[in-house]
Amino acid sequence: MLLGALVLIGACTKTEAPARAFQINSRVELIGGVRALGDTDSAPRDATDLIGGKRASGADGDFKLSNGVMHAIIQNVGTSRGFGSFGGSLIDIDLVRGGQASSASGVKGNDYFTEMFPAFFLTALEPAKVEVLADGSDGKAASIRVSGRSGAFISLVKAFTEVVDPKDPLDFTCDYILEPGKQYLKIVVTVTNNGTRDASWGLNVPFGFVTLLGEGQRLFVPGQAGFDMRFHLEDVYKRPASLDALPGEVTSMWATEGDGVSYAFVSGQNSAGSYLQSERAVAGNFYPTANKDSILIPIASSSFLGTYFAKAPQMLPKGASYSYTAFLAVGSGDVGSVQKIVYDMRDVTIRPNGREFVVRESTPYGTISGYVREAKTNQPLEGLSVVLKDGAGNYVTQATTRKGGVWTAPVPAGKYTGYALDRVRSVAKSAVEVEVTEGGSATLNFELEQPGDLSVTVTDERGQPLPAKITVLGVYENEDPTLQPRQFFYDLKIGERLRQSDLITDSAADPASREYVEKFFYANGAGGRPIRPGKYTVYASRGIEYDLQKQDIEITSGKTTNVGFKLTQVVGTPGWISADFHVHSIKSVDSDMNLEARVTSFAVEGVDLVVSTDHNYVADYGPTIDSLNLNDWLASSVGLELTTLEMGHFNAFPLALQPGPVQHGSFRWFFRPPGELFAQLRALGTDPQKTVVQVNHPRDTILGYFNAFNISGYTGEPLPGYSAVSVDTKPLPDGGLSPYDPSNFSREFDAMEVFNGKRMDIMFPYRIPAVPPPGPEPTVARCGPGVPANTDCLPAPGEILNEVVKIEADGGFELQPVQPGAQDDWFILLSRGQRVTATGNSDSHGEKSEAGLPRTYVQVGETADGTMRALDEDAVFAGLHAGKALVTNGPILEVTVNEQGLGSTVVAADGVIDVHIVARAAPWMDLKRVTVLRGGRDAKVPVKLEVIDVPDTREVNRLDVVRRYSNIPDGSFIVVEAAGEESMWPVHTAYEVPSLEISDAVGVIGSSFGFSPKFGKYKPTQRQIVTPYAFTNPIWVDRTIKQPLRVQKRILPVGNDVPFVPRVMPDVRKLFHGFHSDPE
């Protein structure tokens, strides 16, 4: 009988699939998904079928863990395929889909994870080896080990790491462990001092992880932040920081909410203690809410999430090790599903003395569940979000409603209120507070209003369907002009979407000052969306060549409102096409815009040519344009944005997409000088000599090439590193030149993105505003008599704010704008005779950054007119190389000098030129002035030949004049610009919420070290409205005919099959000391 019972128990026990660890040698074993690489349209058919997703960051040669429940991929050594520097990171992680339990089957996945790697304060692990430590064949946990030495993943912070890190490099291992049946990875990081002397850290140093979630996973941090870490961290940064306590959010975990997959990260307890409960942190009461397994998040933006919790030992003796542990769980899409895994998690290790050590203790919880229905129809609502807040005001969890409108979430015992929301209804707040006990359950139901529907048709003047952008504008109520809409109109903490506003100071008396975008969408001749009931104004637009039409409407619950528009092209541009040479899609880790929406966004903005330039990924938008039948409106070319971490971002196009490699041709950039990168980018081109290499946003924080090399905004020459936060230009350990050495600055590029998106702040140098902004006062004196020229000072309003750069070589100094402008950099290049074409591109990553804002018009010839199916791609890039290009976000300029157009060289022996200027603009934008500029060898900063006031009219033709200028020196160039002053709202929305950047994190950490901004409140602001602006590429003026010098461009073939060699060389001295010897 006992035997029978045992047999019965055995039969009823569910068989658990074993965990496995192995190196991938077939694409069958990759994890698919939207975040996974592998282009459906261009990859070989067999590979596509095997991967099953749109992008795969895993590749042959990487390492995989799987247990039939979840699986993960760790990249082999090399350069990061995410956003970091090195390989060896966790790059894919997902549930095993489709009910398949085989740990190595080719499943259709939903990986939405970009990258995670251990971080030791600001130092990372530079992997030299990845290996299977335990393959799981014994039925126990499977594990993969990444080992290597410490290495700075951002050399910008070397000044800090040199102060705090041990003098000798340490050896690190990172073990990724997966147990059978578990839905989480255990990650154990071990630091070992294999050096010949003891290692010590100069400060209280935190250890943890850096995670790059990418767009599509919305970060939820339990506590006061909820879904709004962006503004919450800004508030946190205002708190006092200390050398012993980095500023940041203290919480129990971070989690995400995403489409079908979600993640949560928690720390394990570490025997050496917690950073947040270190003696110094406790003594200073820096983290009063921290407990033994709290984590600290000092930085969180869409692409970069820092999580610290372990405390480095103050001293690690020779031969000693130190370990810390963390866990990463995978859920089914909402925060609740992944929190449940975390709460159930219990991890125990056995110490050498035989005693148990609890690394992670489970958390008792109860369950709240309910349903969400529509009020009038009683229909269950699926896919809505429910957020729960506890009695102390902390946002605790989020759940997504499933079929039948039901939802469930685990919560610690306590009292809760809830919110139910989606994108088309007003938020429903629970009328009652529910209480739940440990192990108990409670119910919370919601009813939401029924939206109305808006249906729109758009035609051209001949009645033909026309792609157009539909913007639905509302007016909110507000009587306090000091408040931002997020403070009273919507709640980012519960996950409500941001509604863009006009950035005009609110006035209770003026509704026009309180406008916001309730909804916008793309209509390819026709379209519609559900909308919250209310009164709105609907706008139809099609970019800068078309007029703008509007209608007032009222949306009623449950009813459809129909609106028809007719748009007219009012500004013709025969022979020219408009192009955007810098855009992103879901193929980039920081964009969640699918290809259909991506290409449609360009068609509705009237852009003729889009060049795909995804981060470190060669993509082809052509098949998507075909499938949507948008070819008459839009053409595309294949390109790439080679994205380095701190050397700059560089585009290349038109490229040949390579179907085989995972990133279709993108290559390793780490630690290569820019000249080599440019030559390698050319090699990817369909015709390498004709490839356009473009430097993007050269003055955008650490993402800017010219900033990385400290290029003077006045001379164009590299300056010595003048900031505490500068890239490392010291010679390499092997004595070779640093890739950042000033001599490595290369000008072998063809185009420069002078105008990037809505970023006027990086196109022009920062000047002191007439009205002082709020904020701390500067610590420097006002410039004037008595203030030495080599001392930082505050100039008068309207003047460029400079800082003094000391030149150690000769004891002198130079001035450098605090924020140099890309346009001045371009002018300096032109003055040297370098024919670099200026471009303007949107750098759009999503719907909120408008496609084609700004754009570059290129003179192409007859194929520019009519259908874009016939566009001559060669002519476009030849025109761009030749500088036959106009950069604009609205106004159109036609300029000739002595009847020759942009990019031409005019020979004016007598130095007299006739400049013909025609300025046109759609009626919905203003134009105030046109400026004629002359630069040249004698004028690095161009001189204004004339400022011409534009008549105050909304007619399309604003100006048509011929101006004669004399005494034009040999080697000059003429550039004409046009500008308006009024906001282009609502066609072009304002740049309202800049994301927190890595530089913000560096700045915060810098402030911990006592670096305070000397200019206080005077600093560039990204938050700004969009006003009309355009400028031409130059027309060159010589006194004599000169034969142009033509030099073949350098090409360096890229070998994707060249094996990666770690930079770590054996330490011969260490090997010698390891040799056993006998006493003499």
Partner 1 sequence: MGSTAIRNRALLLLGLLVATTAFGHPSGFHKKLTVTLTKTKVSALIVMDVDSGDRCLLLREAVDSNRDGLITGLEVTRLKEQLVKLATRPLKLSISTAPIALVIKETKVSLRDDPRANDAALSVAVLVEIEHAHPVSTGMEFELEDTSPDQSTIVLQVFQEGVKPFQEEVKSGVKTKVRFN
Q: Is the dihedral of CA 52, 57, 62, 64 positive or negative?
A: negative
Residues 1071, 1065: Cα–Cα separation, whole Å:
11
Q: Is residue 1057 within the footprint of partner 1 (CB under 8 A)?
A: no
629: left (phi over 0), alpha (psi -120 to 50) or beta: left
- Which of 358, 392, 732, 962 touches partner 1 by CB under 8 A? 732
Cβ-contact 441, 369 below 8 angstroms: yes
Q: Is residue 952 within the footprint of partner 1 (CB under 8 A)?
A: no
Give least dist CB 875 to partner 1, A.
40
Between 785 and 1075, CB nearer to partner 1: 1075
The DSSP-derived string for 875-911 is: HHHHHHHTT-EEEESS-EEEEEETTB-TT-EEE-TTS
With 0-12 / 13-18 / 19 or more C-beta atoms within 10 angstroms meaning exposed / middle / buried, residue 40 is: middle
**Closest of 583, 562, 550 to residue 923, by C-alpha:** 550
- Which of 353, 967, 1043, 1077 touches partner 1 by CB under 8 A? 1077
Residues 321, 808: Cα–Cα separation, whole Å:
42
Stretch that binds partner 1, among 824-832, 855-863, 938-946, 1060-1068 (CB under 8 A): 1060-1068
Stretch that binds partner 1, among 325-333, 541-549, 726-734, 1007-1015 (CB under 8 A): 726-734
Residues 762, 66: Cα–Cα separation, whole Å:
46
DSSP-derived letter for residue 1064 is P
Between 944 and 1070, CB nearer to partner 1: 1070
Residues 728, 746: Cα–Cα separation, whole Å:
17
Q: Is residue 356 within the footprint of partner 1 (CB under 8 A)?
A: no
Stretch that binds partner 1, among 320-328, 907-915, 991-999, 1062-1070 (CB under 8 A): 1062-1070
Between 11 and 1068, CB nearer to partner 1: 1068
Contacts for 268 with CB less than 8 Å, ≥ 6 apart: 186, 293, 324, 325, 326, 327, 347, 359, 360
Q: Which amino acid would we find at residue 580?
A: D
Between 537 and 1056, CB nearer to partner 1: 1056
Stretch that binds partner 1, among 618-626, 916-924, 972-980, 1056-1064 (CB under 8 A): 1056-1064
In the chain, how many H helices and how many E strands? 14, 58
Q: How many residues does the chain have?
A: 1080
Give least dist CB 1077 to partner 1, A.
4
Q: Is residue 808 within the footprint of partner 1 (CB under 8 A)?
A: no
Give least dist CB 1064 to partner 1, A.
8
Q: Other C-beta atoms within 10 Å of 732: how many?
A: 13
Q: Is residue 1014 within the footprint of partner 1 (CB under 8 A)?
A: no
Counting residues that bind partner 1 (by CB under 8 A) gives 22
Q: Is residue 138 within the footprint of partner 1 (CB under 8 A)?
A: no
Stretch that binds partner 1, among 29-37, 457-465, 523-531, 1070-1078 (CB under 8 A): 1070-1078
Strand order in the sheet with 913-920: 892-897, 913-920, 957-965
Q: Omega into 654 within 30° of 0, i.e. cis?
A: yes
Give least dist CB 118 to partner 1, A.
23
Between 11 and 1058, CB nearer to partner 1: 1058
Q: Is residue 1046 within the footprint of partner 1 (CB under 8 A)?
A: no
Contacts for 686 with CB less than 8 Å, ≥ 6 apart: 654, 655, 656
- Which of 4, 99, 736, 774 touches partner 1 by CB under 8 A? 736
Containing 282, the helix (H) or strand (E) segment is helix 279-283
Between 735 and 788, CB nearer to partner 1: 735
Give least dist CB 85 to partner 1, A.
13
- Which of 138, 899, 910, 1080 touches partner 1 by CB under 8 A? 1080
Angle at 744 between CA 738 and CA 745, to 5 degrees: 130
Binding mask 174-203 for partner 1 (x = CB under 8 A): ------------------------------
Give least dist CB 667 to partner 1, A.
14
Stretch that binds partner 1, among 115-123, 178-186, 972-980, 1065-1073 (CB under 8 A): 1065-1073
Q: Is residue 735 within the footprint of partner 1 (CB under 8 A)?
A: yes
Residues 446, 149: Cα–Cα separation, whole Å:
53
Residue 655: phi and psi, rounded to 5, are -115, 160
Q: Is residue 238 within the footprint of partner 1 (CB under 8 A)?
A: no
Between 730 and 944, CB nearer to partner 1: 730
Give least dist CB 129 to partner 1, A.
14
Q: Is residue 1059 within the footprint of partner 1 (CB under 8 A)?
A: yes
According to DSSP H, which parts of 541-594 are helical? Answer: none
Give least dist CB 1059 to partner 1, A.
7
Stretch that binds partner 1, among 193-201, 289-297, 610-618, 1068-1076 (CB under 8 A): 1068-1076
The encoded tokens of residue 77 equal 């050594």
Binding mask 359-388 for partner 1 (x = CB under 8 A): ------------------------------
Residues 119, 104: Cα–Cα separation, whole Å:
30
Give least dist CB 837 to partner 1, A.
33
- Which of 733, 774, 786, 1010 touches partner 1 by CB under 8 A? 733
Give least dist CB 1069 to partner 1, A.
7
Between 671 and 1011, CB nearer to partner 1: 671
- Which of 138, 356, 480, 734 touches partner 1 by CB under 8 A? 734
Binding mask 667-696 for partner 1 (x = CB under 8 A): ----x-------------------------
For 19-40, the three-class secondary structure string (H helix, E strand, C coil) is CEEEECCCHHHCCCCCCCECCC
DSSP-derived letter for residue 494 is G
Q: Per residue in 682-707, is it b (16+ CB within 10 Å) or e — as a string?
A: bbbbbebeebbbbbbbbbbbbbbbbb
Q: Report the Cα–Cα distance between both ends of the chain, in Å, rounded.
A: 75
Give least dist CB 1050 to partner 1, A.
16
Residues 61, 63: Cα–Cα separation, whole Å:
7
The encoded tokens of residue 789 equal 């020229």
Q: Which amino acid would we find at residue 807?
A: I
Stretch that binds partner 1, among 64-72, 566-574, 728-736, 956-964 (CB under 8 A): 728-736
Output Rg (C-alpha) for the chain, integer angstroms: 30
Give least dist CB 622 to partner 1, A.
37
Between 392 and 732, CB nearer to partner 1: 732
The encoded tokens of residue 2 equal 């006992």
Between 1045 and 1071, CB nearer to partner 1: 1071
Q: Per residue in 545-578, is it b (16+ CB within 10 Å) or e — as a string?
A: bbbbbbeebebeeeeebebebebebbbebebbbb
Stretch that binds partner 1, among 383-391, 680-688, 967-975, 1059-1067 (CB under 8 A): 1059-1067
Residues 171, 168: Cα–Cα separation, whole Å:
10
Stretch that binds partner 1, among 375-383, 786-794, 1016-1024, 1064-1072 (CB under 8 A): 1064-1072
- Residues within the interface to partner 1 (CB under 8 A): 671, 731-736, 1059, 1061, 1063, 1065-1066, 1068-1069, 1071-1072, 1075-1080
